[in-house]
Structures are given as structure tokens and as C-alpha cells.
Chains A and B, each alone.
Chain A
């Protein structure tokens, strides 16, 4: 591709003041800036959520500890879960999507740039509203500040008699507001992907990242809405004297569980599918081969999207549903493992016969493969409902989902950071520091989350602020806490690397990885208009066709 930016006379660009630049960021509707805003916002909350986790781990390090009171501990696990899901994982994945999708499909911006900005600011405001509870949650009774009802806020614990003050309302409203932001972002993703692809890019030729974000956005539309509905119902109960979940008036606590998990389960697929997208873009480039089985990867993702809407009550195996209901949700949950497994095989198939380069993005993706495999298998164990009657609500489940979220999603995210950092900033990160980050974090992750499975097997329930000595849980809890130190070290190296590289990294150029999708055809960082001319594509790897005109992809696809 010929020069893809229009030369600007540097002398003509006046130096702008800090105020003007900040103002620019606040009013921007440019998808790249909004993407970065989402990502930076999420990273700030990652640190906060990490501190919450660290405090909990110190409390649980030894039995009968008094590092924090039970009230504080209960608020910590509620805020940690809520923060990490809604104000770290969702924003950061929306952020990467917002940044990358227009670039990868060859267009200038998202379909609705102002909606894009609105969605970000709503999400951001929701997070601030949640944390405002630390100040404003006291209400009339002075009882509690941050919410302490758990991130899934089961009824009737959330009803007025059991949740005094306003802390639960900050949880409800904060998530309601950010949920509307998420739905807005999802509408934008779907419309952009369906309506703004560059000429020649049929649905069968768009990058897997675009496909996966399309499925993810569809799931957000169908899954976040039930949560919004349930939160409206909870607010009607708490403020208007309604009885949706009021067991004293004949209401049903289980109904909240159904509504929440109809959201909650697809939500975790909303989180993992963009992680799949990153891995599907990075592994081919560093194996020097196209993704193995593109059509099957698309079909498997769509399949996961649909089937995951039918598995939600596997979070409710212990509530006393009939054996038929339990069997139904067992088979659907096991079934969703099939397309997921197929994707793992396809990633292995991509590496097979390739020439693998062990740069930081690839190392994190390989870590993802190992860890997601294990996480999926512990998921299959939990799918067997009788086994879940023992393992559910114990530290085994906590270990399982952290394995998916930290071992899977966060590792894929670190890979994505390193892979696209050169494009976003124009500079290369430091590879040595990145490798230090990888190994430190890997050791910490495994120390914490491998050994966390054991207390669950030995009968330790979740959400307990302390435990008796002599139950056989002490040594495992201690090891789990030690792992946190390594993870903190890894994250510090990561942040240091990013900051240092922003200032002093080597200039990256358009295409430091010799990659094949459209974002690598334009400058690093891309100009505001993305491409000087809208590209025209003929295959799934347009830059491969340009670099290998004798052997282009479109001959074989």
C-alpha cells in the first residue's frame, strides 16, 4: 500500500496548551481516543481491584486473623468482584474493540461516534457512582458504606431490612448506568461491523477480531438487558415498596437468581470472547501462518454465543431445582465446552507447522492456551451438577473463575497490550522488561490460583472473612497469598515498561510485527482519519497479498 497519511507541515501545527489538549480528550468522539480512555480508566480500576484483593488475601493468610473486620471484608469482596467485572474487564475490552475495529475493517470511525463517547462517559460515571458509596452510602442508619451484598447481590439480602442505608442502591444505580453505556457500545459495535466494512471485505473476509466482537456485542444486547430489568425491579422493591423479591409477600428469591444469572453467565462469555479475538490475531502472526480453520472458528464462536444463553442455572445447581432441570443445565453446560474446545484445537493447529517467535505477545497467548485449557476442564467438572453440589460456592469455584479471568482473559489482554502498543503509541516496548513481567506474573498466578483449588476440595466455602484452624486449610491459604506478591511485582514491571516505553521506546514504524491486517498499513499511531484512502481488500489477510503478490491469499480461500 502506498503512503497512507497525508503530510502535514509541522510548522503549521501550533503547540497547544495542556488545557486545550485535555479539553480535546474530554470532548473527543474519535474512536482511538475513546478506546484509550476506556483502557486507561480500566487500568486505574485494575489497581484498585487488585488492592482490594490483596487486603482480602492478607486477612485470609492465617486462620482467625484480625487484619480487617468482617464488615470491611464483606465490602471488599463485593467491591472487588463488581469492580473487576464491570469497571475493569468490560471497559478494557470495549476499549480495545473501539480502538481496533474501525482500523481493522478499513473505515474512519465507528458508526455512531457521539454514541461511542456517551457510552464511555456513562460507563465511567457508573464506576464513580459505585465508589461514591464509600462516602455517601451511610444514609439514614449509618449502616455500612460500600455495598456488602456480594457482586451478585442475592435477594432477600438486598432488601431494605437486610441492607440498611444506601450502599446497595449505589451498587444498583452504578451498574444500571454503566449497563446502559455497555448497551450503547454494543449497538455501536454491531452497526459498525455490519455497515462500515471497506469494499471487498465481506463478512467472510473480515478479521476474526471483528467477528468475535460482533458476537460479543450481540450477547451484550441480550444479556445486559436482563440485569438492567432486574435492577429496576430491585429498586422498585427498595424504594417503592414493591415485592418482586420480597419473600415475606410471596415473592421469590430464586427469581432474582434466574434473572441475574441469565445476565451473569453470558456476561462471562462476553468477557472471554474478545480475549479469544486477541489470541486469534496474535498466534497466527507469531506462528507465521494464517489461523487454522477460519470458518470453523467463526461458527464455533457463534455457537458459543447461542448455547451460552441456555446454561445460566448451572450457577444454581444447589438451590433445589428438580432433577430434570439440573440435568438440562448439566448437558447444556457440557455442550458449550465443545465449540470452546474446538477453538483451542484450532489455535494449536495454527502453531503446528509454523515458525514460532517467542515475543511477549506470543508468550502471553501461549500462557493463555495452557491456562484456558485447565480453566475449561475445571468448568466441565463443575458442570457435572452432583460434583457441583460439593464444589459450588467453595474456593474451587473461586479458583476456576479466576483461572478463566486472570489466567485466560488477563493474559490475553497483556498479549494484546504488547502487540498493539506499538500501533497505539508509535513506540516499541522493552522486550526484556516484558519477559520479566511474564515470568513474574506467571509464577504468581500459578502459586495463587493452582493451589486455591485445594481448600475448595477440603470444604472451604467462599465469602468467609476467616476460618477455624485445624481444618487443613491453613497452608493452602498461605501459599495463595504469597503468589499475590509475584503478581504485584509483575504488574509493576508492566506499568513501568509502558510508561518508560511511551517516553523512550524505539520508534515502531507502521508494521513492526510483519503482520497482515489493515491496522498495520497505516501510521503508528494512526492519523485521526485512519487511512488516506479507504482500502479495498480481496482476502482475509490484505497485507499478505501486498507483501506476497506472487502467492496471494485470495487464490486459496
Chain B
């Protein structure tokens, strides 16, 4: 009876282990393999930039070492519970009472110490290579200022101010054009995390942090704020557009211009400038120079609004202005309480800010 129970236990344990192993292998396959839509999944095991790449290679070493330790110790545990279980004999004699062994203790102290040393040295190398990387001549400089719940982006040398969607040029290892980011905060703690490009670095008020990326492939890379910053922390999304050099230059030129002045949306512009909008928002070339909210000079050059939460369509813009809580409850954008005509005119005006 007891033996059956114990066999059952062992079979269940073996089954459990198999499930675990299968799950683990599945997870590994999914992380390393292709089936996920890789442009949208911020998978840390598909790096596209040197910092993320260095981390990835270090992680392989770490996973290999910890994996080996796991296999060894796991096997020892399984072996001991299988081999030394009290068997059918109902034997009530006590087994040999062993108190310890100095040699064994020494062995399993020294080996872990050596493992720690190896791991540490590999790690220290990566810490220095990422954190203390020198800034080469052709690099782009961006200042990121974290807000509740959006990203303010300045390109000081290029005279550009934008929000939420970061454009950087692709970087080629022969002629590197990395982007070095200075990280500041206007209110509370945030964290800049685009997994495929770099590890995360926090934005802390009254402190200057920095990070860098040098993406090798063009594309859009997703990320989001990774330090709890208040109600809508979950919706402080980040989009990094890695452009070819030509695309990036075009983008810079279009951003450097002052706001387009269409004339046909005069009514909307008046709504914008006479209601509270200009208290928070700036449109370069007009009287609006508020700094509390995102710069709207080239609003239409962005794919999303509300920091990545909604696509940039007239419908969404309308909802955002009239009832921001329907898109991002608790954001600091106030509901503007405009009439329908005012709203139409305003959205039409915003539509001209390319």
C-alpha cells in the first residue's frame, strides 16, 4: 500500500517535472524563435542595438551557468528522494546517523565561489562597456524629459522639440551614428525602456541620467515607462522610429520648420489660441508656447496620440480633447468642454500641423 502511494508520488513528480520542462522549452522556443510578430514584441532576446546586444550575450553566459547548476542540483534532489525513500520493508531501524563532512563542505563552498568570480568578471566587463561608452563624433543627442504620463523629446543641437515618438538614425558599425540620450524628469520617477534597443534607465527629478542606443536595423521599436509614476503609468508608451539616414534627415528638416499656416483653418486656430490650449501646449511660430504638455507644432507627423495609446486620427483627437478620460483615465489633459463647432474647427486646425 505504502509502496503504491510512493510510486504514485514519484510518477506524479516525474510528470510534473516533464510538464515544467516542456513549458520551459516552449517558453525558450517562443522567445528565441520566430512565431511572434517580432516588430511588436519587445523581446529582450532579439536585440537590435549594441547595449541590448551586450546584455543578450551576457545573458547567454548567465543562463548557461545557472542552467547547469539547476540541472546538477535538481538531479541530486530527485536522486536523493527516489533512492533514499523509505521502502516497502517497513524498516523502522534508523539509517546511519551522519553529522557532516568537512571535505564535502569545502568542495561545495569553493566551487560556487569560483562560479561567482567568473560570472562577476564577465558582468563587470559589460557594465563598463555599456555605461562608460564614449560618445563618438557623429552621434545624435536627445534630451528626454519624463512627465506624468508622456515623454518630452528635445534635440538640442538640431533645435527640435517633439513628444512621445523618438526618431533616431540607424547606426552602421563602420560609421557609427548612435543616439545618446540625457534623461531628466519634470515630476516623479519614470524609466526609459525599449527592450530591443537597451536596458532601462530611470528618469529621476533633480538628477541627470544618460543612456545610449545604436540600432542596427530600421523599424519601429516599442517600449514604455518602467517605473511606477502614478495613475496612468501603464499607458506611458514609447515608440522609437529607427530611420535610414535619408529618412532621418527628412524628418529633421520637417521638424525644424515652424508650424504650417494654412489659413483655411483660421477659426480653429482662434479656438486653439483663445481657450486654455496655449497654457500647456506650444506651436512654434504662433503665440502658443506652453511647456506643460506636448509640443504640437508637428502633431500630424506622429502616428499616435496620448503617448502611444491611440492612433492619431481626427476621431481620436476629438475624443481626446473633449473627454480625455475615455482614452486615458487620470491623465493630466483636462476635458475642454467645447461646443461641437468649436471642436470641429479645432480638430481641422490641428490636422494642418504637419
Give A contacts to B, CB under 8 Å: 69-71, 74, 148, 150, 154, 156-157, 162, 247-248, 250-254, 287-290, 292-296, 318-320, 322-323, 326-327, 330-331, 334-335, 337-338, 341-342, 344-346, 348-349, 351-358, 366, 369-370, 373-374, 377-378, 380-381, 384-394, 439, 442-443, 446, 450-451, 453-454, 457-459, 461-468, 470-472, 548, 551, 553, 556-557
Contact = CB atoms under 8 A, between A and B. Distances in A.
B204 A253 contact: yes
B44 A384 contact: no
Interface string B35-79: 011001111110000001011001100110010011001101100
B264 interface: no
A331 B204 contact: no
A335 B116 contact: yes
B41 A459 contact: yes
B195 A320 contact: no
Contacts of A450: 20, 23-24
Contacts of B204: 247, 253-254, 319-320
A473 B63 CA distance: 22
Given A358-B9, A373-B77, A387-B62, A458 B116 contact: no
Contact of A389 (B55, B77, B128): B55
28 contacts: A70-B234, A71-B231, A154-B227, A156-B187, A248-B206, A250-B206, A253-B206, A289-B95, A320-B183, A326-B131, A338-B113, A338-B116, A342-B105, A349-B101, A351-B77, A353-B84, A355-B85, A355-B91, A355-B95, A380-B119, A381-B59, A387-B59, A451-B27, A458-B41, A459-B42, A468-B237, A472-B43, A551-B97
Interface of B: 5-6, 9, 12, 16, 19-20, 23-24, 27, 30-31, 36-37, 40-45, 52, 54-55, 58-59, 62-63, 66, 69-70, 73-74, 76-77, 80-81, 84-86, 91, 94-101, 104-105, 108-109, 112-113, 116, 119-120, 122-124, 126-128, 130-132, 183, 187-189, 191, 193, 195, 198-202, 204-207, 209-210, 222-235, 237, 329-330
A319 B119 contact: no
A150 B5 CA distance: 45
Contact of B85 (A345, A356, A391): A356
B226 A394 contact: yes
B222 A471 contact: yes
A421 B163 CA distance: 61
Contacts of A378: 66
Contacts of B202: 318-320
Contact of A458 (B5, B43, B55, B232): B43
A471 B97 contact: no
Given A295-B100, A330-B127, A287 B84 contact: yes
B234 A467 contact: yes
Given A69-B329, A293-B105, A344 B100 contact: no
Given A290-B97, A326-B127, A338-B116, A461 B80 contact: no
B42 A471 contact: yes
Contact of A390 (B55, B80, B222): B55
B209 A319 contact: yes
Given A156-B205, A556-B97, A351 B128 contact: no
B24 A292 contact: no
Nearest 6 pairs between A and B by C-beta?
A389-B199, A459-B42, A464-B234, A320-B209, A472-B41, A247-B206
Given A293-B100, A386-B130, 13 more contacts: A154-B228, A292-B99, A345-B73, A351-B81, A354-B84, A366-B77, A374-B70, A380-B62, A385-B127, A392-B226, A446-B19, A454-B31, A553-B97
B206 A251 contact: yes
Nearest to B5: A358
A323 B128 contact: yes
Given A254-B204, A320-B207, A390-B199, A351 B330 contact: no
Contacts, number: 302
B233 to A, nearest CB: 6
Contacts of A254: 204, 207
Contacts of B19: 446
Contacts of A470: 37, 40
Contact of B66 (A292, A381, A394, A454): A381
B80 A352 contact: yes
B38 to A, nearest CB: 9
B95 A471 contact: no
A250 B130 CA distance: 29
Contacts of A394: 226
Contacts of A295: 100
A366 B81 contact: yes
A322 B130 CA distance: 11
A327 B127 contact: yes
Nearest to A548: B94
Given A369-B77, A380-B62, A386-B199, A457 B43 contact: yes
Contacts of A345: 73, 108
B224 A461 contact: yes
A287 B235 CA distance: 53
Which of A69, A358, A556 has the most B CB atoms < 10 Å from its CB? A358
Contacts of A331: 116, 120
A188 B23 CA distance: 46
B200 A392 contact: yes
B108 A454 contact: no
Contact of A461 (B36, B81, B86, B193): B193
Contacts of A252: 206-207
A40 B159 CA distance: 64
Nearest to A77: B228
A459 B223 contact: yes
Nearest to A152: B228
A70 B235 CA distance: 10
Contacts of A353: 84, 95-96, 98
